[in-house]
Amino acid sequence: MHPALQGVMTIAIGVIGCVGYFYFSNLFLDKVLYPAKGPNAGRNINRANQIRPWLFLFPAFFALSLYLAYPVFETLRLSLTERLPGNRYEFVGLENYTKMFAEPKFWESMRNNMLWLFVVPAASTGFGLLAAQLTDRISWGNIAKSLIFMPMAISLVGASVIWKLVYDARPEGTEQIGILNALYIFFSGGEPQTWLTVPFWNNFFLMIVLIWIQTGFAMVILSAALRGIPEETVEAAIVDGANPFQIFFKIKVPQIRNTILVVWTTITIAVLKVFDIVFAMTNGQWETQVLANYMFDKLFRANDWGMGSAAAMIIMLLVTPILVWNVRNARREMR
Amino acid sequence: MDNIAGQKSTLTWVVHISVAALVVLWMFPTVGLFVSSFRTTDQISTGGWWKALFPAEQNLTIRTAAPDTQVNIDGMFVIEGTLFEEGFDASVSSWGISSRDINAFVPGESAELRRGGTITVDAAGNYRMENTEEFSGSRGQRVFVTATTPPEFTLDNYNKILFSGSPSENMGTAFVSTLTVTIPATIIPILIAAFAAYALAWMEFPGRPLLIAFVVGLLVVPLQLALIPLLKLHLGIGIGKGYLGVWLAHTGFGLPLAIYLLRNYMVGLPRDIIENARVDGATDFQIFTKIILPLSFPALASFAIFQFLWTWNDLLVAKVFLIDATGQTTVMTNRIVEMLGTRGGNWEILATAGFVSMAVPLLVFFAMQKYLVRGLLAGSVK
């Protein structure tokens, strides 16, 4: 069968299956199990209404538990075991962790991840705030916003290709086709650099790709927050003779502090999961390894599930503070 | 408002310039790849794309026609032809027949061929090879020309990538598989999440706050954690690697955001409508399908865009749950990464493949930006 046709058929089956479940399970509940007629009609309606929430919730929470909650614990268990030939697992305690901590590549990933964690959220939020503040004041601001926001739609892999062209290096003496080298040679007259192989600094060249993507996100959220600032506060500041910079930093920024925090943490999470950019651009060579790619390496190249799981647990550990903070915020709001 | 303070003119001017600079900076890399996707290999390797709009001087290496096209004119063996393809309007400024000295001759001069005979190239790129003996060998003579060529763009790259390219270049099947992954992986979580979100927003049952907290917690769980256990599970229960596995995985990973977004939106719907419907004897299923779903359209659209972009652009989940050793199924992001590995220098292939994969998300982005922004705001500013 043609792959496209097969695709269409599977789409139909999947969607019909989903709709069918909800429709027929409700039909079954109302017509067969607790029919709303006969001598017990009232009691039956109540019973049906007690069960219905769970009917509505079941597929979603079954999938959530199986695909996100259970893996957390299973990964924890796997990180304490070693996979033996023949699909057997042996408990090895913390050995995977000690082995991992002894690897220089792991500490390189940790160092780089910390760099990413600091630089990317800071730069994205900073640029986002700048773009939000500036575009809000001009007539063509919406078009500008739309264009700065656009990288959000581009895949990390696509973004990697885009930026690889920017960083491209040709041998000395030939025409440079990467804009960075062309500018570098034009202004400094030096030799073309292969930017992605310069240890330490190449991390920043990779980070730029994510900053480029995340700035649009930060800008959109912060621009909405800036618009939500009560005008009286700004007007009062102008009357008191504050200059635009004072208005921005002393009046506006403090009022949107919470939003900045939310943007910062959201980008932090995106950073912790960053995989595609490093995988596509350097694959962790030249000291650019990060945790997510280190884990993928252990998992599918070295085929070491124990150490791969241990690396995943480290990522989970780094996310946990944000997770706790989010849950507490959500619970406070619900009260 | 700043004009109250009377500083309008200079400052607005600075603002306009800064925004313009920011936009140019942000657009520049993408435009570069876009322009490159319409250029030929030679054009890309001889000059930066920013020069593509102007006539460029290029060094080209071209082969003359093979010796089997030679004709015998009065005892002279002659091969004639033109170096450039038809419609290619270039002018030769110098040329050579050795890679060590590519500017040895000016147009109109004749060069001695190493294996006997002479060759003449004129400014328009027409050449004439003459020899008293028969030309031998199977391939034509290599000619190095330095030519000024007008800006030229071509759709050949797209034709090659989408339809006619060799298996290592073709994206057509990958495009279809990406679509096959994406559409169910967008629709199924919406359906499932909408029901759950309604239950969490409008139905009374014990443990509701706890379940909401559970969803919020799962919002940030990195999907890296799920890879090994789920792969193990899929292999164990016989799903293996394939579309079914990748749909299930995307559904699971997309659900927390879907439930969260939709619940937040549904909670804000007017209580009166729902209670009136209840009083009139509508069941929850009817309320949901007839009232809630149509009213929640903006939130559904927001999430649909998110999930679509995320699944279309995904590499990791596809690599783990879909792509097996046989390479029968693949997605575009994976093809591009493979091309980066094997054809790192072939920018015309990479750029075109990149844009083929970006075209659909960009289209969705510009067409439905309103909903995307609304969803972002609902999902973050809380």
Name B79's bridge partners.
B129
How many Å apart are CA B187 and CA B182, to the nearest integer?
A: 9
DSSP B140: P
Name the packing angle between helices B172-202 and B243-267 (round to 10°): 40
Q: Which of B:182-221 have CB within 8 Å of A?
A: 183-184, 187-188, 191-193, 195-196, 198-200, 203-205, 209, 211-221
pLDDT the model gives residue A156: 87
Asked if B364 and A63 come within 8 Å (Cβ–Cβ), the reply is no
Alpha helical stretches, state H, chain A: 3-27, 41-64, 70-79, 95-101, 104-135, 141-149, 156-167, 179-188, 201-227, 231-239, 244-246, 253-255, 257-272, 276-281, 291-296, 305-334
Chain A residue whose CA is closest to B21: A144
The first and second tokens of residue B329, run together, are 């199924």
Give the closest of A131, A162, A241 to B29, CB-based. A162
Chain B residue whose CA is closest to A305: B228
Tokens 């506006």, residue? A252
Distance, CA of A115 to chain centre: 17
How many Å apart are CA B63 and CA B102, to the nearest integer?
A: 14
Interface probe, candidates A26, A50, A56, chain B, greatest B C-beta count within 10 A: A56
Contact B48, B109 (CB under 8 A): no
Name B82's bridge partners.
B126
pLDDT the model gives residue B290: 85
Asked if B365 and A160 come within 8 Å (Cβ–Cβ), the reply is no
pLDDT the model gives residue A124: 92
Could you say which residues of chain A have pLDDT below 70? 1-4, 6-7, 10, 36, 86, 335
The first and second tokens of residue A181, run together, are 């080298």
Contact B149, B55 (CB under 8 A): yes
Distance from CA of A322 to the nearest CA of B (A): 8
Chain A residue whose CA is closest to B45: A177
How many Å apart are CA A103 and CA B281, to the nearest integer?
A: 66
Contact B261, B379 (CB under 8 A): yes
Name the packing angle between helices A201-227 and A257-272 (round to 10°): 150
What are the tens digits of pLDDT across the range B173-208?
788 888 888 888 888 888 888 888 888 888 888 888
How many Å apart are CA B161 and CA B177, to the nearest integer?
A: 15
Contact B195, A45 (CB under 8 A): no
b/e map of A290-300 (b: 16 or more CB within 10 Å)?
A: bbbbbbbbbbe
Could you say which residues of chain B have pLDDT below 70? 1-9, 56, 86-88, 165-169, 327, 343-344, 379-382
Chain B residue whose CA is closest to A141: B19
Asked if A161 and B29 come within 8 Å (Cβ–Cβ), the reply is no
For chains A and B, count residue pairs whose Cβ atoms are closer than 8 Å.
Answer: 345
> What are the angstrom distances between the C-alpha of A111 and each of A79, A212, A218, A313?
22, 22, 25, 17
pLDDT the model gives residue A333: 74
